[in-house]
Amino acid sequence: MNTGAGTKRWGPRRAASALFGRRARLRWVYLVLGGALLMPYWMLSTVAIGALNPDHGPVVQLLLYFAALGMSLPMAAVTALVPTVRGLEGAAARALCAPSRPDEIATGPGRSWAARRQTAAWYVLHLLFGGVVSGMTLAGTPFAVMLVISPLGGPSLGDLVRFWQDRGFPSWLPGPVTGLALMLLILSTSAGLGALLARWAPVLLGPTPEERVAAAERRATVLAQRNRLARELHDSVGHALSAVGIQASAAARVLRTDPDFAAEALQAIGETARAAVAELDAVLGLLREEDRADAEPAGPTLAGLDDLLRQLARTGLKVDAGLPPGLERLPGALSREAYRIVQEGLTNVLRHAGPTAPAGLRVALAAGRLEIELTNPLGPARPSRPGGGRGLRGIGERAAVLNGGCEAGPAEDGTTWRLAVWLPVEGTR
Q: What is the DSSP string of 366-377?
A: ETTEEEEEEEEE
Same-domain check for residues 135 and 218: no
Other beta carbons within 10 Å of 330: 19
CATH number at residue 404: 3.30.565.10
Burial class (CB in 10 A: 0-12, 13-18, 19+), 177: middle
Same-domain check for residues 100 and 232: no
Same-domain check for residues 311 and 396: yes
For residue range 345-398, list pLDDT tens digits in order. Answer: 888 887 777 777 788 999 998 888 899 999 888 765 544 444 445 678 888 888
Residue 3 maps to a domain: no
Per-residue pLDDT, 190 = 93
Residue 284 maps to a domain: yes
Of 207, 222, 257, at which residue does a domain stop?
207
* Total residue length of the chain: 429
Per-residue pLDDT, 134 = 93
Same-domain check for residues 250 and 346: yes
Q: Which residues of 32-62 are buried (b: 16+ CB within 10 A; e: fewer)?
A: bbbbebbeebbeebbeeeebeeeeeeeeeee
Of 207, 233, 264, at which residue does a domain stop?
207
Same-domain check for residues 167 and 242: no
Residue 312 maps to a domain: yes
Same-domain check for residues 360 and 239: yes
Same-domain check for residues 201 and 224: no
Residue 288 maps to a domain: yes
Q: Which of 42-46, 176-180, 234-238, 397-401 has the lowest mean pLDDT?
A: 234-238
Task: Please give the model's pTM, rounded to 2 decimal places.
Answer: 0.54
Same-domain check for residues 119 and 45: yes
Same-domain check for residues 203 and 218: no
Same-domain check for residues 186 and 244: no
Task: Please give the share of the chain, as a percent, with pLDDT higher than 70.
Answer: 81
Same-domain check for residues 400 and 325: yes
Of 207, 225, 245, at which residue does a domain stop?
207
> How many domains does the chain contain in total?
2
For residue range 304-348, list pLDDT tens digits in order. Answer: 888 888 877 877 778 888 888 888 888 888 888 888 888 888 888
Residue 5 maps to a domain: no
User: Residue 65 is part of which domain span?
Assistant: 12-207
Average pLDDT over residues 208-221: 78
